[in-house]
Amino acid sequence: MKVDVLVIGAGAAGLMCAIAAGQRGRRVLVVDHANKVGKKILMSGGGRCNFTNLGVTPANYLSANPHFAKSALARYTPADFIALVEKHRIAYHEKELGQLFCDDSSKQIVRMLLDECAAAGVRIETSCAVARVRKTDEGFSVTTVHGEVHAESLVVASGGLSIPSMGASGLGYDLARQFGHAVLPIRAGLVPLTLSGKHQEHYQDLAGVALPLVEARVGKREFRAGMLFTHRGISGPAILQISSYWQPGHDLRIDLLPAHPLLSQDAGAWLNEQRAARPAAELKTVLADLLPKRLAQRLCELWFESRPMRQYREAELHEIGKQLHDWPITASGTEGYRTAEVTLGGVDTDGLSSSTMQSKLVPGLYFIGEVVDVTGWLGGYNFQWAWASGYAAGEVV
Ligand code: FAD
């Protein structure tokens, strides 16, 4: 079969690219080895797809070249995607921090993309694995289980390694290497952190205990959001966000009480007020006003024995307060690609045009979406990168 554009991967980026190219009158084929399109879109945002973020800026992305994402993000903005969502009459709402979700279901986003593909004459083949890709004089020759495809332009939109059970594969990285592109080290991002040894023993029975607001810090990077204890370690939005900046050996600190409504100053000052106000109360009881009861109790067992407040010196309570604002927790690793929302690293942006995503080495070859070394924060940023990079390529392929 002969087409103008072959897109490998019917995920967020691939479908957006196909729509933009199809609307320009290009004959587009999208192939995907999974049995249905957009599986990650379907599972995203707890089934409601956090499809963009109103506050997207290049600063919300990790990449060896922080400038790379600027051009594409500026040319296809959250407002552009919102216009598409509204055109399809999909109801949505802002949950928090600019995060936009479908009111009803992420299926609506996949339906919208498929309808746009159909309107643009895009052909999609699922359960279509790619066996081999070759460069030819006319473009590319791609061997798939459905036969040989000849295309002028080849767009690699096969995503990262996160959630292998959803069809993730390393094909995009292999193709990049095959055509001489550098692939920067990849690792799981937006992923729960694991604890091991005594650290795990200390906290594993707190699984399910949640804190509505903590501040997780690695170096100068900090995120304020919720946190959750799991059987294997810690999770929740603050931990997922910081996980993209954390690597084994890095110092991870957690302020358990940033901006707690009961605290006008720091926790140490508040504890000293409590000592004066309720001298007979035990520390663990007092701390349970600030923290989940089971966590307050555990911290007392591990860090500071629980005695009546009157038995503490002022300096001791200040020290306890300091620890609550700067908890050094030793993570041993991450849960890995099995549960990670994204894959950090990937196709080195040095080898790509930032305005078109085209390879600087092989004309007609494009890389878009998560396979590229651009990774967003939690909160709709990754889909916005997929839409924007897909659109950038779709305008020129
Ligand atoms: P993908 O969407 O992963 O698409 C890649 C496609 O390529 C897949 O369909 C796959 O089957 C196909 N493919 C892979 N290998 C091959 C091969 N060898 N041959 C043929 N086809 C292949 N981001 C947000 O912004 N908001 C969210 O709410 C959100 N929630 C998420 C929830 C979960 C559980 C996960 C895992 C991720 C979430 N993300 C979210 C991240 C977001 O899903 C990804 O960043 C985004 O899907 C990347 O788009 P993509 O098109 O590059 O890759």
Model pLDDT, residue 369: 98
Q: How far is the CA of 300 from the centre of ligand 1 (A)?
A: 43
From 341, 375, 391, the mutation candidate for ligand 1 (largest count of ligand atoms within 8 A of CB) is 341
Q: Which helix (H) or strand (E) holds 227?
A: strand 221-229
Rounded distance, CA 94 to CA 234, Å?
Answer: 26
Across the range 99-122, mean pLDDT stands at: 98
Res 244 pLDDT > 90: yes
CB atoms within 10 A of CB 119: 11
State the pLDDT confidence band at 263, using cuts at 50, 70 and 90.
confident
Model pLDDT, residue 260: 84
Q: Tell me: the pLDDT tens digits for 338-384?
A: 999 999 999 999 999 999 999 999 999 999 999 999 999 999 999 99
pTM of the model: 0.96
State the pLDDT confidence band at 318, using cuts at 50, 70 and 90.
very high
Domains of the chain and any CATH numbers: 2-187+343-394 (3.50.50.60), 193-334 (2.40.30.10)
Show Cβ contacts of residue 97 under 8 Å, excluding neighbours closer than 6 positions.
53, 55, 379
Res 236 pLDDT > 90: yes
CB atoms within 10 A of CB 314: 12
Q: How far is the CA of 77 from the centre of ligand 1 (A)?
A: 19
Q: How far is the CA of 49 from the centre of ligand 1 (A)?
A: 12
Q: How far is the CA of 376 from the centre of ligand 1 (A)?
A: 13
Res 265 pLDDT > 90: no
The interface pTM score, or ipTM, of the predicted complex is 0.99
Helices (H), the chain: 12-23, 39-43, 70-75, 78-87, 107-119, 171-178, 197-203, 237-243, 267-277, 283-287, 293-302, 314-325, 381-394
Percent of the chain with pLDDT over 70: 100
> CA torsion sign, 325 to 329 to 333 to 338?
negative
Question: What DSSP letter does each residue of 351-368 carry, written as one string?
Answer: GB-TTT-BBSSSTTEEE-
Total count of residues recorded for the chain? 397
> Are residues 53 and 78 in contact, defined by beta-carbon separation less than 8 angstroms?
yes
Q: What are phi and psi of 137, to 5 degrees?
A: -65, -35
**Mean pLDDT, rounded, of the chain:** 96
Q: Tell me: the pLDDT tens digits for 201-232?
A: 999 999 999 999 999 999 999 999 999 999 99
Residue 48: closest CA among 113, 109, 124, 116: 109
Helices (H) and strands (E) in the chain, counts: 13, 21
Which residues approach ligand 1 with their CB closer than 6 A? 8-14, 31-34, 39-40, 43-45, 49-50, 129-130, 157-159, 162-163, 167-169, 171, 341-342, 369-370, 380-383, 386
Q: How far is the CA of 25 from the centre of ligand 1 (A)?
A: 26
